[in-house]
C-alpha cells in the first residue's frame, strides 16, 4: 500500500496522467470556447458582457479551492508531518495565486461595463485581494527562508490563518451590502442561472481544472527531481 505512494510510483503515474490530459485538453478547450463565445446566449440585463463570467467564475473557484486545499493539507502536515504534503502545497500555491489574480483582473474587466468602475473597495473584492496576499506570503516563505523545516512551518501557519478568509470571501456578499452580486450557483437549493449558461460555465471550469492538473503535475515532478538532485549530492 505504502509502495503505491512512493515517489517512483507517483513519478510513473504523473507521466501517464500528463499524456492523458494532453490528449483530451485541446478538444475540450475548443468545445468550451465555442460554447462560451458563440453558442451561449447573451444575458437579458448584462448583454454579451456576461461571457466574462466563463473565465471569471472558474478562476475564482480554483483560487478559493486551491487555498482551502493548501490550508487543509497544512493542518494534516502539522499533525502527521508527511514530507510529501510539502511538495504538494508548494506545487499548488503558484497555480492558486495565478487564478486568484486572474479572477481579480477579469472581475475588474466585468465591473467596468456592469457597475461603471474598474475597482471598488467592496467586501468580496477586498477579501479576494487579501487572499492574494496570503498566497504571496505562502510562496515568499519558501523563496526567502533557506531552512526547509522553518519555511514549511511558517508557510503552514500562513495557510491556516488564511483559511479564516475563505468563509469571509464566500459569505461577504450576504454579510455586507456589496456591489458584487450574490452567488447564482448554489450546491444546496436551486441555481438562478439558466442551463444554456451553466453548460459553458462547467465546460470552461473543466478545461481550467485540467490545465491546473497539468501545471500541478509538472511542478510536482520538478519538486521530486529537486529532492533527488539533493540526494545525489550527498553521494
Partner 1 sequence: MIQNLLFMNGYGFFVWASFLIMFFVCTFVYFKTYKTLKKYEKEFAKEINELSIEQKKSVVENSKIASQILSTYSKTI
Q: Could you list the residues that contact partner 1 (CB under 8 A)?
A: 7-8, 11-12, 15, 33, 36-38, 42, 47-49, 51-52, 55-56, 59, 94, 98, 102, 105-106, 109-110, 112-113, 211, 214-215, 218-219, 221-222, 224-226, 228-229, 232-233, 235
3-state secondary structure of 153: helix
Cβ proximity to partner 1: between 37 and 161 the closer is 37
- Whole-angstrom Cα distance, residue 204 to residue 80? 36
Q: How far is the CB of 111 from partner 1 (least distance, A)?
A: 9
Q: How far is the CB of 19 from partner 1 (least distance, A)?
A: 14
Q: How far is the CB of 226 from partner 1 (least distance, A)?
A: 6
- CA-to-CA dists, residue 33 to 26, 42, 99, 119, 123, angstroms: 10, 15, 18, 27, 31
Cβ proximity to partner 1: between 109 and 183 the closer is 109
Q: How far is the CB of 161 from partner 1 (least distance, A)?
A: 26
Q: How far is the CB of 28 from partner 1 (least distance, A)?
A: 14
Place of cell 493539507: 73
Cβ proximity to partner 1: between 94 and 137 the closer is 94
DSSP letter at 43?
B
Q: Using alpha carbons only, give the angle 50, 206, 138 rounded to the nearest 5 degrees.
A: 95
Q: How far is the CB of 179 from partner 1 (least distance, A)?
A: 16
Cβ proximity to partner 1: between 55 and 73 the closer is 55
Do 71 and 129 meet the contact criterion of CB atoms below 8 Å apart?
A: no
- Whole-angstrom Cα distance, residue 141 to residue 162? 14
Cβ proximity to partner 1: between 51 and 124 the closer is 51
What are phi and psi for residue 104, nearest 5 degrees? Answer: -65, -45
Cβ proximity to partner 1: between 192 and 222 the closer is 222
Amino acid at each position: 500500500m505504502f509502495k503505491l505512494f512512493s515517489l517512483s510510483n507517483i513519478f510513473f503515474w504523473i507521466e501517464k496522467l500528463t499524456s492523458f490530459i494532453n490528449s483530451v485538453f485541446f478538444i475540450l478547450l475548443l468545445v468550451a470556447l465555442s460554447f462560451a463565445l458563440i453558442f451561449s446566449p447573451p444575458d437579458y440585463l448584462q448583454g454579451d458582457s456576461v461571457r466574462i463570467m466563463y473565465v471569471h467564475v472558474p478562476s475564482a473557484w480554483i483560487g478559493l479551492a486551491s487555498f482551502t486545499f493548501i490550508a487543509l493539507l497544512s493542518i494534516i502536515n502539522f499533525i502527521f508531518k508527511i514530507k510529501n504534503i510539502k511538495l504538494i502545497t508548494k506545487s499548488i500555491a503558484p497555480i492558486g495565486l495565478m487564478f486568484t489574480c486572474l479572477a481579480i483582473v477579469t472581475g475588474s474587466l466585468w465591473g467596468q461595463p456592469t457597475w461603471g468602475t474598474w475597482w471598488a473597495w467592496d467586501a468580496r473584492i477586498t477579501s479576494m485581494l487579501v487572499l492574494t496576499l496570503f498566497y504571496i506570503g505562502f510562496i515568499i516563505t519558501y523563496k526567502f527562508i533557506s531552512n526547509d523545516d522553518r519555511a514549511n512551518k511558517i508557510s503552514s501557519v500562513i495557510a491556516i490563518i488564511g483559511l479564516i478568509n475563505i468563509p469571509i470571501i464566500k459569505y461577504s456578499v450576504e454579510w455586507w451590502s456589496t456591489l458584487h452580486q450574490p452567488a447564482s450557483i448554489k450546491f444546496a437549493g436551486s441555481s438562478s442561472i439558466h442551463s444554456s449558461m451553466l453548460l459553458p460555465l462547467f465546460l470552461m471550469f473543466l478545461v481550467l481544472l485540467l490545465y491546473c492538473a497539468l501545471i500541478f503535475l509538472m511542478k510536482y515532478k520538478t519538486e521530486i527531481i529537486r529532492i533527488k538532485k539533493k540526494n545525489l549530492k550527498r553521494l
